[in-house]
Amino acid sequence: MIRIGRVVRAAGALMIVTAVAGACADGAADDSAGSAGSSEAALRTAAQQWSRAIAEGDYPAAYRFHSARCRLTLGQEAYVEEMSQRYAGRDLGASEPDITVAVTGDTGQVTVRHTDERAGEDDAEPATWKYVDGTWRYDTC
């Protein structure tokens, strides 16, 4: 009877150790995924997707990259109208833009330089992006 009690306690302790080790491993995986998600490569990917939406004239898709703060400042309809006017008559899809990114913590700076004939009309100042809830969001509003 004493042996059975020891075996049960040992098995219980082993289950606890296994559960704690599993939780620690999951946490480590989450940390690495989070840091990979907030990396310069992840920001570059988001900026490329945003830029591609702009180049294709899909301004509602580009708007979805905006932070909640920016969405409060400018609604989707106004954004679509503004972008339609800003990029009217431009062939942004003819070549890939030059995208420069830099990340410090959860804040990124992105500069997108188009290469079409009217590229000089673009604002060359870096735009601020924020890493929020696992996603990079355009936060220059």
Cβ atoms within 10 Å of 92's Cβ, excluding its own? 21
Encode pLDDT of 30-45 as tens digits: 333 334 688 999 999 9
Indicate the domain borders of the chain.
1-37, 40-138
C-beta separation of 80 from 28 below 8 A? no
pTM of model > 0.85: no
Distance CA 57, CA 87 (A): 8
- DSSP classification of residue 68: H
pLDDT of 64 over the 50 cut: yes
Fold of 40-138: Nuclear Transport Factor 2; Chain: A, (3.10.450)
Q: What is the pLDDT of residues 103-135, one digit of tens each?
A: 999 999 999 999 888 888 887 799 999 999 999
